[in-house]
Structure 1
Amino acid sequence: MDADPIERARAALAPSGLILRGALNFAPDEERPEGPDGAPARAVILVGNAGAAYWRHFSRWRAEQAASVANPLDTWSRMVIARAAEAIGARVAMPNDRPYLPFQQWAMRAEGLRQSPLGLLIHPRFGLWHAFRGALLLDVEIPVQGVGEVNHPCDLCTGKPCLNACPVSAYTAEGFAYQACLTHVRGGEGMGCRTGCLARNACPHGREWRYPAAVQAFHQRAFAGI
């Protein structure tokens, strides 16, 4: 393996618009997923997006696929991340793989992120307009820079417009009312939400990274199964 797998992985992902989203070495005594050699992994590199730079690459690939391809974004992401895995001798892990892996916890450790009132992790630069698409599991430790103090945007937001924008008040201190949100998005009054989550769009932070309308509509349709 190359002495710097992070740079090799970054180069392999560059043509896709996906980027590296932090990395960490596992503690020897923590529960660890299986690495490429079958033993517990020793490190993980997170892969995802900030903004929608990936969209044109994904759209070009999707136009060449059969309309029936299942979970197209996950399928494309796995394919792209697999190329990076091959370049550095890693194993691919995806958020939807069973058993589920603690992607949110890894992200919080690797990038110092915290949850927003919507449950989504908010980034000090990208706001809510980012995602983790997969991970690369390694059987060796990697050079990782420590995460310094990260300013949490929600601490400075007094009005919390995200909590006031949802037409069915799906976001509360008790958590996310998934079924209420889903019923509304699928229903006759949910057209505005089918083109983008109103609560997410109400967040004033990181607006320059906001996904274009077509990207938001794609994700909302996938969420609602419509």
Structure 2
Amino acid sequence: MTSLGLQSDGCRLGFGDIEEALAVHGLVLRGGFNFATDEAPPLGLSGAPAKSVLLVGQAGAAPWPHFLRWREQQPSTITNPLDSWSRQVIGDVAEAFGARAVSPSDKPYLPFQRWAMRAEGLKPSPLGILMHPQYGLWHAYRGALLFEDEIALPEHGEAVHLCDACVEKPCLKSCPVDAYSRAGFAYQACLAHVRGGNGEPCRSGGCLDRNACPYGTEYRYPPDVQAFHMAAFADP
């Protein structure tokens, strides 16, 4: 995306400038698109309807050391620290480039998964996480930048969906309580297991089904990162 640009306040800004501002925090641009004329997009910075959106996220655990340094300076009682860090970082970048920052946890909820599928041409895995042809299941979307100008973006085809070539589907066979199946996610069964006496492998090393996926393993989150996310799931 570095060769493209966008129009903001009459100035031509390179995507490379935004990418560099995000990279300082281990974050990356994850694609974007222009809203169609018949859509009802969220509002931009001035209160007018946004015309375009850029998704911001991570590949692997690159933001983790940046987040930990920030967290050391915060009160120990801070709630949802990763969400708070993401809001602050993406908000600062949005301010610098004349955009409005939005988060997946904003209410009313914005359709982040649909946006991500549209921006990168991805499809959900059997676990519901979007499958990326390079990162596998080890990526996330932390926020988005809404602009009131259209962005010149290249056309992209549908990404290769690695799950289509995966015959064994180990992601549906590794959980001891069959939390994931073709019928969907058994939330209560998963939660009870993680909180229970036999849930230590999941609490300390992450979801067994997710870790069983053979794709994108070089981007797999380290155990401490997975333990952090699992603790947030088990004790929201």
Verify same fold: TM over 0.5. Answer: yes
What is the match of residue 185 of structure 1? 194
Structure 1 runs (4+) deviating above 6 angstroms are none
Per-residue deviation, residues 155-200 of structure 1 (Å, max 9, x unmatched): 1100000000111111122211111111111111111111200000
Of 34, 39, 47 in structure 2, the residue corresponding to residue 25 of structure 1 is 34
Q: Please tell me whether residue 110 in structure 1 is matched to residue 119 in structure 2.
A: yes
The separation in 2 between residues aligned to 1:223 and 1:9, in whole angstroms, is 31
Unaligned residue ranges in structure 1 (runs of 5+): none
The separation in 2 between residues aligned to 1:146 and 1:102, in whole angstroms, is 21
Of 34, 42, 52 in structure 1, the residue corresponding to residue 51 of structure 2 is 42
| Deviating more after overlay: 54-63 vs 168-177 | 168-177
The separation in 2 between residues aligned to 1:149 and 1:91, in whole angstroms, is 28
The one-letter code matched in structure 2 to 1:18 is L
C-alpha displacement of 1:4: 2.7
**DSSP 3-state at the match of 2:19:** helix
What is the match of residue 220 of structure 2? 210
Checking the alignment, whether the CA contact within 8 Å between 1:8 and 1:88 is kept in structure 2 is no
**DSSP 3-state at the match of 2:160:** coil
Checking the alignment, whether the CA contact within 8 Å between 1:129 and 1:211 is kept in structure 2 is yes
Q: Please tell me whether residue 163 in structure 1 is matched to residue 178 in structure 2.
A: no
Calculate percent identity across the aligned residue pairs.
60
Checking the alignment, whether the CA contact within 8 Å between 2:53 and 2:144 is kept in structure 1 is yes
Of 135, 140, 159 in structure 2, the residue corresponding to residue 131 of structure 1 is 140
Q: Please tell me whether residue 80 in structure 1 is matched to residue 69 in structure 2.
A: no
**DSSP 3-state at the match of 2:79:** coil
**DSSP 3-state at the match of 1:136:** strand
C-alpha displacement of 1:5: 5.4
Unaligned residue ranges in structure 2 (runs of 5+): 1-7
Q: Please tell me whether residue 198 in structure 1 is matched to residue 208 in structure 2.
A: yes
The separation in 1 between residues aligned to 2:96 and 2:151, in whole angstroms, is 15
The one-letter code matched in structure 2 to 1:6 is F
The separation in 1 between residues aligned to 2:156 and 2:179, in whole angstroms, is 32
| Deviating more after overlay: 6-15 vs 199-208 | 6-15
The separation in 2 between residues aligned to 1:155 and 1:104, in whole angstroms, is 19
What is the match of residue 97 of structure 1? 106
Per-residue deviation, residues 4-24 of structure 1 (Å, max 9, x unmatched): 353332121121001111111
The one-letter code matched in structure 2 to 1:194 is R
**DSSP 3-state at the match of 2:194:** helix
The separation in 1 between residues aligned to 2:124 and 2:230, in whole angstroms, is 20
The separation in 2 between residues aligned to 1:179 and 1:17, in whole angstroms, is 33
Task: Count how many residue pairs are aligned between Structure 1 and Structure 2.
Answer: 226
Of 105, 122, 131 in structure 2, the residue corresponding to residue 122 of structure 1 is 131
Checking the alignment, whether the CA contact within 8 Å between 1:36 and 1:90 is kept in structure 2 is yes
**DSSP 3-state at the match of 2:12:** coil
Q: Please tell me whether residue 223 in structure 1 is matched to residue 201 in structure 2.
A: no
**DSSP 3-state at the match of 2:211:** helix
The separation in 2 between residues aligned to 1:209 and 1:120, in whole angstroms, is 15
Q: TM-score, normalised by structure 1?
A: 0.97
C-alpha displacement of 1:149: 3.5
Checking the alignment, whether the CA contact within 8 Å between 2:194 and 2:234 is kept in structure 1 is yes
